[in-house]
Chain A
Amino acid sequence: MSLTCKEVSRLISEGLDQDLPVERQALLRAHLAICRGCDSLRERLAFLRRAMGKVAERDDSDES
């Protein structure tokens, strides 16, 4: 069974918080390989995580 883009968007987010079951991962990968929109979303959310990491880093490093 294949996934819809909406389901994939949920899975991308879930995957940032926990390991997905193997068969979900496979479905997700298969969808991302053929769907540019979802793959862009995946990149955007990965970037968002890097940006928040940077916010935390900036807080810690702006020592006076």
Chain B
Amino acid sequence: MSASKELSDRIQSHRSYLVRYASIHLRDSSTAEDAVQETLLAALTGATGFEGRANLRTWLTGILKHKIVDAIRRSSREVSLDAVAEADASEFDALFDAREHWVEHPARWSDPDSALEQQQFFEVLEQCLQRLSPNAYRVFTLREHLGEEMDAICKELGISRSNCGVLLYRARMALQECLNANWFGK
């Protein structure tokens, strides 16, 4: 059964939110648009699935998450295996000396949680995320934004656990460096 006019309008009204949400995970805007389109279509044709659910946006976002995962899975097949194989940790060699000790000790950030109250901090974080390599970005957002388990992510993307771990490590190291340089100051 498809949606009533009223429900259909309500579903459409969340479109821009969904596009924004999809854009966080799918950097290519046409891929993000496609995922949202598929979501709206699925919602409009399967609206009975919504009945009485807590919240329309939450329900739509749930559908969208699946579409995003599908899109990531499709695009990761297009990523050459070399791109994943290149995922070693050597790019952080500059941080460590020959004995693998810090060249410069990371300093403690003072009161980092106060940043979580500031809109501007999230803009900086988003910019830092955008600088990650596409593979590191996918793995990291699946893990830390969508909260998926590591095993599920490796399986979805068809990469080994160790590559998955290296990509997460890379993403985290790059992000903490980026936040340090652009928000927390030296």
Report which A residues bind B (CB closer than 8 A): 4-7, 9-10, 13-14, 16-18, 36-38, 40-41, 43-45, 47-56, 58-60, 62-64
Contact = CB atoms under 8 A, between A and B. Distances in A.
Given A6-B96, A50-B116, A55-B145, A17 B165 contact: yes
Interface of B: 13-14, 17, 21, 24, 55, 57-58, 61, 89, 92, 95-96, 99-102, 105-109, 112-113, 115-116, 121-122, 125, 143-147, 150, 165, 168-169, 172-173, 175-176, 179-180
A10 B169 contact: yes
Contacts of A45: 172, 176
Nearest to A6: B100
Contacts of B176: 41, 44-45, 48
Contact of A40 (B95, B108, B115): B108
Nearest to B175: A48
A44 B24 CA distance: 22
Contacts of A18: 150
B168 A64 contact: no
Q: For A7, A48, A56, which residue has the most chain B Cβ atoms within 10 angstroms?
A: A48
B112 A52 contact: no
Contact of B21 (A10, A41, A47, A59): A59
Nearest to B149: A17
Contacts of B57: 60, 63
Contact of A56 (B89, B107, B145): B145
B144 A48 contact: yes
A38 B106 CA distance: 7
